[in-house]
Copies of this chain bind each other. A is one copy, B any other.
Amino acid sequence: MKKFSRKRNAILGALRASKEHPTAEMLYAQLKPEYPDLSLGTVYRNLAMFKEEGTALSVGVVDGQERFDGWTEPHSHFICEGCGSVSDIECKAGDGLCEAVSERFGVRATRYELTFRGLCAACMKS
């Protein structure tokens, strides 16, 4: 039976409140002041749990660190190759895409990720 935990709650809250698609370290750094005895391992453990149960999802690994997203509605992402920032992209391009792929390739595709790469507005200036 899964029990309540104040820290787990705080981690999920911080993840959902963030728009920067944070890494485990970012969440840890952000929560550490309020929870001085928080441990990085706990952040990793809970993020893995969220991902497993679908409460959160992974945007992928950017510059060697996994980025997480607390917004689970279908949407796309833009990753800046200059500064590594990740932002949301509204893009309702592909309803029925999974069905089409599943049928055509003999698999069961349950979801897809559409990720754009390039330079963000800030990095375009430099």
Contact = CB atoms under 8 A, between A and B. Distances in A.
Contact of A124 (B78, B108, B113): B108
A109 B118 contact: yes
Nearest to A107: B120
Contacts of A101: 78, 89, 91, 116
A94 interface: yes
Contacts of A107: 78, 80, 116, 118-121, 124
Number of copies: 2
Interface of A: prevailing SS: strand
B113 A115 contact: yes
Interface of A: 60-61, 78, 80, 87, 89, 91, 93-94, 97-98, 101-102, 105-121, 124
17 contacts: A60-B61, A78-B105, A78-B109, A80-B107, A91-B101, A93-B93, A93-B94, A93-B97, A107-B119, A109-B118, A112-B114, A112-B115, A112-B116, A112-B117, A113-B114, A113-B115, A115-B115
